[in-house]
Amino acid sequence: MKQLILGGARSGKSRLAERLALQSGFEVTYIATASAGDAEMQQRIQQHRDRRPSHWHLVEEPLALAQVLQQHAGHQDLLLVDCLTLWLSNLICLEQPTELRRQRDALLTVLPTLPGQIILVSNEVGMGIVPMGALSRQFQDEMGLLQQHVAACCERVVLTVAGLPHVLKPAGTFLKIED
């Protein structure tokens, strides 16, 4: 099963994804897309590390996400990608539109073919005002389009608000989370 967990900043989306991974019973590989550019980001990364079980595998990959997913996906495995937002930011900051398209297209091509369980985490950024800067508008547009395509590939899509999961796909289902 492929799942997309959406939510705003500090909405509980990563914690939800981690709980689902823990409950799955599968071997978990955590794919981190963040790069620590400053002390504040390093602290955020450390908080995520401290929360994760020590037996989970870790792969840090800021750009070649499709390649890493292909390398690590297996029928008895769960890959948790946290997060698509930082991955897309990394690609946009390269200022190489061809590479952005190549990596995005590679992800969208490989995602439906992967065996095992995949949980993708992403920030919902399209519910606010349209940003003033061109780069911010480009990011918001690219993120919205990416999320639409990823959601189409996923069997389950969950929007997390205030720590509460709201199942968007499939419609009318309930997500039971155990502590």
Tokens of 36: 């620590």
Between the alpha carbon of residue 163 and those of residues 27, 41, 171, the distances in Å are 25, 22, 19
Tokens of 20: 């689902």
**48 among known catalytic residues:** yes
> Is the Cβ–Cβ distance between 15 and 51 less than 8 Å?
yes
> Is the Cβ–Cβ distance between 120 and 3 less than 8 Å?
yes
Q: Which residue has the tokens 């990608």?
A: 81
Residue 159's beta-bridge partner residues?
6, 166
Of 150, 174, 103, 124, the C-alpha closest to 2 is 150
Active-site residue, from 48, 57, 72, 166: 48
Greatest C-alpha distance within the chain: 45
Residues marked as catalytic: 48
